[in-house]
Amino acid sequence: MRLLLRKIKSFQGLSPRQRKFVIWVFGLSISRYLLRFLGSDKAFTEKLKVDYDKAANPTEEQMAIAFDIAKAIRIADQYIPWPNVCRHQAWQAVVLCNKYQLPYGYHVGLYKNEEKLIDGHCWVEISNSIITGNIDVTKYKLINFINHEQY
């Protein structure tokens, strides 16, 4: 009971926008699983359309929103009872970045680990700040997606 009260208290300590994002991330996690179950293309980050200039430099307010999104995804990841791996987190970040028209980069990379197995990872970054998939991205060779239609 104390643990639950402590969790509620820490949730109340978040800003209203951060609380909203945490709730959205939970909902997005459920939505993605349903989309995957139904076989929808919208369950894949590469298929999400972006209609604004990704090369634009984000404003301070946009960076604040991006950091709140990143925090919400980290918090929700601790409580989502199913695997919320990098590709799921990247999808959640892309959906929220699209909603707020944040200029982001979505990246997928591969590298051979110590056991000579191929390891894949995806991450989202805004203005060289990693929003999801916080690892040493210099280890990964990027895979370029030419356009959405090839998938």
pLDDT computed for residue 144 by the predictor: 65
- The per-residue pLDDT for 140 is 86
Range of the domain at 98: 1-142
In this structure, the dihedral spanned by the alpha carbons of residues 39, 135, 80 and 120, taken in order and rounded to 10 degrees, is 30
All residue ranges of the chain with pLDDT < 50 are 146-151
**For residue 151, is it within any domain?**
no
Tell me whether residue 150 is in a domain. no
- pTM, entire model: 0.82
Give a yes or no: residue 64 inside a domain.
yes
pLDDT of the residue at 51: 58
What does the pLDDT read at residue 98? Answer: 92
Residue 134 domain-assigned? Answer: yes
Residue 56 DSSP symbol: S
Contact by Cβ (8 Å): 147, 140: no
pLDDT of residue 89: 94
Using one digit for the tens of pLDDT, what is the confidence trace for 52-70? 565 578 899 999 999 999 9
Q: Per the structure, how many domains does the chain have?
A: 1
Burial class (CB in 10 A: 0-12, 13-18, 19+), 66: buried
Distance CA 77, CA 55 (A): 29
